[in-house]
Amino acid sequence: MHTLRASKYGLSIKQLPPSILEVIDALTKAGYQAYIVGGGVRDLMLGLHPKDFDAVTNATPAQVKEVFGRRCRIIGRRFELAHVYVGRDLIEVATFRAPPKKAVTSALGMILRDNNWGTIEQDFARRDFSINAMYYQPRQGVILDFCNAIDDVKSKTLRLLGEPKLRFEEDPVRMLRTLRFAAKLNFSIAPEILDVFTPEMTQLLRDISPHRLYDESQKLFTMGHLQRVLPLLIEFGLWKQLFAEVSPDVTAFVALAAKNTDQRIQVGKTINPAFFYAVLLWRNFQERTEFYLAKGVVAAEARAQAGLDVLKRQSTRTIIPRFAETFIREVWEMQTRLLSPKPQQIESLAGHARFRAGFDFLLLREKSGDDTTQGMGQWWEAYQDMTIDQKEVAISQYNRQRAKTRRKPRTEDVEVDTVIAPLVAEAAPTRSRRSRNKSAQAPVRSTANTAVSNADGVDANHPILKRKRVQRDLSQVIFGPTQ
């Protein structure tokens, strides 16, 4: 074990938020050992800005609770931890862990329960990468390095502690972490890891709960290096495990959205990881919508059902929380709204809660060469910067343009034009009673479609009519009137 002088590596107490110091100090005062460990130390060593600081101690979670009282909550079952609240910060305090006992390991070698307390030496050996296993005692100004992690910091190498094959088998999520850190830190992956990073090994991710994989996917999307990690995920075959249905070619749209996400993070803007999910699954959503349309399902219902289907299939890999699913479907639905808005709805659409995300999405599509947006991305972009008078002019121009296209004599489409133009009228559950009565005979989408056989434009045998849930869930996809 080497004791490094923190100041020699550019670390100082001044870089630390008061909250982590308070936790370290309180534990020390109570007679326990306490260190900062993990990503915080690693990032400081690399001159990066850590996103948070985790603490580790020889106090058990119950003892940590004794020290911090009501400011502490013990969480987790498989991996028990103390959460300590200091002001607005939350500090995660872990207890030194010893190797897990045999009885809590699955048949495949995966650790199921992991609350066997131990010494700092045992704790270090349990961590994933050497660079994540440095222990920093800020008051003493020292870093404990048990494995020459400092050499890996210097040579920018990602090295797993212990035998890589075993470490991946114990916790297959470490494969994802490998690619995440390689991309985030711009490190190379040690050859002995590459040796075991086989397609068979990546299959082990199937045993990981879709909840945990969603959390990991979020970290991948929000670390600021999506552009770098996407090709790695594909190359190493982890893509298939995370997004079974998404084609592993990075489309121009996905590439641009990744670039845009990274840039937003770089300038400190917030990002919603669900937005990138919406991007990734967009093509699947469109294909699925086409599938329903071809069966003669009314457009709004086709989109709603397609959205449900695509998200349901994705949930076998990563379980997207309900609110994020709703967000994704709203962004998709917004695409239709923004593409051909009713002139009188333009202003309220621009003030809609989902406008910003929907518009960003539309513009990214357009900028990546998707001409089905018909230039509406640019139109909305310009619209937002206009004065009230300019907006009026723009809307009437848009209106004229719209009327012109609609008046074009497209013989077989005439009926379609008059019927589908108002998007809101497609939104059955949110229509006013009056418009619902008025359009009771209306929402037939395509006259060319022979499958259409009843007044709603859907084949009476179509499964969509047999699934009550669809109707209920539609209310989440289609917006009510804008406030």
Choose one: 35-43, 197-205, 230-238, 450-458; the region binding Mg ion (CB under 5 A). 35-43
Q: Cα 26 to chain center, whole Å?
A: 36
Query: Which one is catalytic: 43, 114, 128, 456?
Result: 128
Contact present, 271 and 265 (Cβ < 8 Å): yes
Among 11, 59, 133, 304, binds ligand ATP (CB under 6 A): 133
Q: 57 is written with which tokens? A: 């101690």
Nearer Cβ to ligand ATP (128/325): 128
Sheet holding 34-37, edge to edge: 2-5, 142-145, 134-137, 34-37, 54-57, 89-95, 81-86, 72-75
Q: Which stretch binds Mg ion (CB under 5 A): 4-12, 34-42, 405-413, 417-425?
A: 34-42
Which single residue brings its beta carbon nearest to Mg ion?
39
List the single partner that 304 binds among ligand ATP, Mg ion, none, CB under 5 to 8 Å by kind.
Answer: none
How far apart (Å, rounded) are the C-alpha atoms in residues 168 and 324?
A: 30
Stretch 196-225 residues interacting with ligand ATP (CB under 6 A): 219
Does 50 bind Mg ion (CB under 5 A)? Our answer is no
Instruction: Tell me which of 73, 83, 113, 174 binds ligand ATP, using CB under 6 A.
Output: 174
Instruction: Indicate the residue among 38 and 237 with the shorter CB distance to Mg ion.
Output: 38
* Beta strand ranges found along 291-423 (DSSP E): none
Catalytic one of 43, 54, 360, 456: 54
Q: How far is the CB of 50 from ligand ATP (least distance, A)?
A: 7
Are the C-beta atoms of 135 and 1 separated by less than 8 Å? Answer: no
Rounded CA gap, 187 and 46, in Å? 11
Supply the DSSP string of 108-149, one letter for each residue: TS-B-----B--HHHHHHHSSBGGG-EEEETTTTEEEESS-H
**Burial profile 418-447: b = 16 or more Cβ within 10 angstroms, e = fewer:** ebbebbbbbbbbbbeeeeeeeeeebbbbbe
CA distance 282 to 331: 10
Interacting residue with ligand ATP among 127, 329, 337, 365 (CB under 6 A): 127
Rounded Cα–Cα distance for residues 443 and 457 (Å): 7
Nearer to ligand ATP, 51 or 467 (CB): 51
Catalytic, 52? Answer: yes
Taking the least distance from each CB to Mg ion, the nearer of 39 and 377 is 39
Which of 52, 89, 215, 370 is catalytic? The answer is 52
Residues near Mg ion (CB under 5 A), total: 1
Say how many Å lie between the first and final Cα of the chain, rounded. 63
State which residue, 41 or 331, has the beta carbon closest to Mg ion.
41
Instruction: From the list ligand ATP, Mg ion, none, pick the one residue 173 interacts with, judged by a Cβ distance below 5 to 8 Å according to partner type.
Output: ligand ATP
Contacts of 3 (CB under 8 A, 6+ apart): 142, 143, 144, 145
* Position 39 contacts Mg ion (CB under 5 A): yes
Q: Is residue 261 part of the contact set for ligand ATP (CB under 6 A)?
A: no
29-68 positions binding ligand ATP, by CB under 6 A: 38-39, 51, 54
Amino acid at the residue 34: A
Partner interacting with residue 273 (select from ligand ATP, Mg ion, none; CB below 5-8 Å by kind)? none
Inter-residue contact 276 to 239 (CB < 8 Å): no
Residues 63-92 that bind ligand ATP (CB under 6 A): none
**Which residues partner with 143 through β-bridges?**
4, 136
Residue with the shortest CB distance to ligand ATP: 39
- Judged by CB under 6 A, the number of residues near ligand ATP is 12
Q: Give least dist CB 27 to ligand ATP, A.
A: 17
Q: Which stretch binds ligand ATP (CB under 6 A): 104-112, 134-142, 169-177, 199-207?
A: 169-177
User: What separation in angstroms does the CA of 257 have from each of 219, 368, 465?
Assistant: 16, 9, 36
Main-chain dihedrals φ then ψ at residue 354, nearest 5 degrees:
-100, 5
CB 234: neighbour CB atoms within 10 A?
A: 14
Among 19, 57, 115, 132, binds ligand ATP (CB under 6 A): 132
Q: Is residue 262 part of the contact set for ligand ATP (CB under 6 A)? A: no
**Stretch binding ligand ATP (CB under 6 A), from 125-133, 196-204, 278-286, 373-381:** 125-133
Q: Which amino acids are annotated catalytic?
A: 52, 54, 128
Residues that bind ligand ATP in the complex, under the rule CB under 6 A: 38-39, 51, 54, 127-128, 132-133, 171, 173-174, 219
